[in-house]
Amino acid sequence: MDEVYLKRQLALNRDRVAALARGISEDLMSWKPNQESWSILEVICHMADEEEFDFPVRLKMILDQSDKAWPEIDPVGWVTERKYNEADLFETLNRYMGLRNEALAWLDSLENPDWDIIYEAPFGEISAGDMFVSWVTHDLIHLRQLVELQRFYLVEQAKPYHLDYAGDW
């Protein structure tokens, strides 16, 4: 596993998320293509909460060989429970970026971490390396989601015109 590459991806993804969220209109910020979808604001809130309560926390527990149970999280439930779509995008984005910066500093402080350490999670075994690469992958899932939300919104705003000439989506 290339630790340097993965840490760099976490830093780049922080900036990519910010670039996709900054400067968007109020309408786009909370717009959803359908009731089951998340808005851009909800995605950013989710990512901030994941930085605070999930990936870095759980990775630290694995590396510290903690025998404590992982803290409970409810990413899907938090969307409505914490009223993500009513949050302030600027504050939430800054929170996310600050938490990511703290996590990156922590990762940089690690000396020869054992990525093969196993933790017995409720769903089965997971290694520190598995958690690390899943964190980077989680970013990519939501980066794709942010791009897709912007494209879906564009389709609505462009009507009655079509985007077909641009190429296959």
Q: What is the pLDDT of residues 83-100, one digit of tens each?
A: 999 999 999 999 999 999
| Separation between Cα atoms, residue 117 and residue 101, nearest integer Å | 24
Per CATH, domain 3-166 is 1.20.120.450: yes
What mean pLDDT comes out for the span 12-40?
Answer: 95
pTM: 0.94
What mean pLDDT comes out for the span 48-58?
Answer: 97
| Domain positions in the chain | 3-166
Report yes or no: 127 and 118 within 8 Å, Cβ to Cβ.
yes
| Separation between Cα atoms, residue 132 and residue 137, nearest integer Å | 9
